[in-house]
């Protein structure tokens, strides 16, 4: 009986404490950043919520650290997700300040509804579409046309609804071999899946972005698609129209176009436009 009572006491204690915590969180959550740093509060800290495509996680984290050093009055909150999900969040009035999309489509949709400040929109980055093979591949592929040959048994590409898949189709259509490729293609859910199929050797080759190919040493870049074979791969940026921190947001976008940021982007394999 004693055991039981102690147990009950423990449970109720945990409950009360965590409920209290939860209540505090709800109360404080929207001012969390500011009361973490009392000193910054007096200097009037601006919080910027930057919604960015998940593929930019590492570069933006790095650039965020750099920016923090010179802009003590700005607190950057990066939130990473798929461009489509981020678009929905902005449409539903999430408190976002900056949107960096991995495709023009999502940005166009927001522009149509006047949800982004049109004059701040800019194509920040570009990416290359490349053909990758497993590191130990003995097929000796050197061009996109080689993929059509019979020695290639399985090609990993993005599905129809995946951006990289659409670019892939354009490239192979340009070389007029899409029908042959389609017959031996395995369709990935996203570019990462395509890459892991090639990494593991399950596919003889695959088509991914250059930035993805550079994240692993298990694949070799066999060829890069020429610019005129597909629509350009673009990463547009813009300030969200509803943002209350327009000036601070613009300033951060300017920083992303600075030579300092350019070096970081290029190191990761992006083309700076």
- Determine if 140 is a binding residue for another protein (CB under 8 A): no
Give the one residue of 39, 42, 92, 259 binding another protein; rule: CB under 8 A: 92
Structure tokens at 43: 């200097």
Q: Does 95 bind another protein (CB under 8 A)?
A: yes
215 binds another protein (CB under 8 A): yes
First-to-last CA distance in the chain?
Answer: 73
* Residue 3 beta carbon to another protein: minimum distance, rounded to whole angstroms: 8
The Cα-based distances of 204 to 96, 174, 213, 266 in angstroms read 42, 21, 15, 28
217 binds another protein (CB under 8 A): no
Q: Does 61 bind another protein (CB under 8 A)?
A: yes
By CB under 8 A, tell whether 99 contacts another protein: no
Work out whether 57 is an interface residue with another protein (CB under 8 A).
yes
Report the nearest approach of another protein to the CB of residue 7 (Å).
8
Residue 227 lies near another protein (rule: CB under 8 A): no
Find out whether 98 and 90 touch, Cβ atoms under 8 Å.
Answer: no
Q: Smallest distance from the beta carbon of 123 to another protein, in angstroms?
A: 21
Told to check if 56 binds another protein by CB under 8 A, we report yes
Minimum CB distance to another protein, residue 90 (Å): 10
d(CA 70, CA 249): 15
Which of 4/138 has CB closer to another protein? Answer: 4
**47: phi then psi, degrees, rounded to nearest 5:** -105, 125
Alpha helix (H) residue ranges in the chain: 2-28, 32-36, 38-42, 57-70, 83-91, 104-112, 163-174, 178-183, 191-199, 210-213, 246-256, 259-267
> Binding to another protein by residue 3, rule CB under 8 A?
yes
Say how many residues touch another protein, by CB under 8 A.
Answer: 44
Tokens at 138, concatenated: 């003995």
- In SS3 terms, 179-214 reads as HHHHHCEEEECCHHHHHHHHHCCCCCEEEEEHHHHC
Give the CA dihedral 123, 270, 222, 175, nearest 10 degrees.
0
- Residue 170 sits in the site that holds another protein (CB under 8 A): no
Verify binding: residue 54, another protein, rule CB under 8 A: yes
Q: Which is nearer to another protein, 97 or 237 (CB)?
A: 97
Phi, then psi, of 238 in degrees rounded to 5: -165, 160
Task: Answer yes or no whether residue 89 interacts with another protein by CB under 8 A.
Answer: yes
Tokens linked to 109 = 């949709």
Chain residues binding another protein by CB under 8 A are 1, 3-4, 7, 14-15, 18-19, 21-22, 25-27, 29-30, 32-33, 49, 51, 54-58, 61, 77-81, 85, 88-89, 92-96, 192, 195, 212, 215-216, 242
């Amino acid at each position: 009986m004693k055991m039981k009572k102690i147990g009950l006491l423990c449970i109720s204690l945990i409950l009360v404490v965590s409920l209290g915590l939860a209540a505090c969180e709800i109360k404080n959550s929207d001012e969390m950043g500011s009361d973490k740093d009392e000193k910054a509060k007096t200097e009037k800290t601006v919080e910027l919520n930057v919604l960015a495509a998940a593929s930019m996680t590492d570069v933006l984290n790095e650039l965020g650290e750099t920016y923090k050093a010179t802009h003590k009055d700005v607190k950057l909150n990066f939130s990473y997700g798929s461009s489509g999900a981020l678009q929905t969040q902005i449409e539903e009035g999430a408190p976002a300040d900056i949107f960096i999309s991995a495709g023009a489509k999502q940005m166009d949709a927001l522009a149509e509804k006047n949800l982004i400040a049109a004059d701040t929109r800019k194509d920040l980055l570009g990416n290359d579409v490349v053909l990758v093979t497993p590191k130990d591949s003995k097929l000796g592929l050197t061009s996109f046309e080689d993929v059509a040959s019979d020695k290639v048994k399985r090609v990993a590409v993005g599905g129809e609804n995946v951006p990289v898949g659409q670019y892939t189709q354009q490239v192979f259509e340009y070389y007029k071999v899409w029908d042959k490729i389609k017959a031996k293609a395995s369709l990935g859910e996203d570019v990462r899946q395509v890459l892991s199929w090639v990494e593991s050797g399950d596919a003889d080759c695959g088509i991914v972005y250059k930035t993805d190919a550079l994240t692993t040493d298990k694949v070799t870049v066999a060829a890069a698609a020429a610019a005129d074979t597909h629509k350009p791969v673009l990463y547009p940026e813009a300030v969200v129209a509803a943002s209350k921190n327009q000036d601070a947001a613009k300033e951060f976008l300017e920083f992303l176009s600075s030579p300092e940021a350019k070096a970081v982007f290029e190191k990761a394999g992006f083309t700076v436009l």
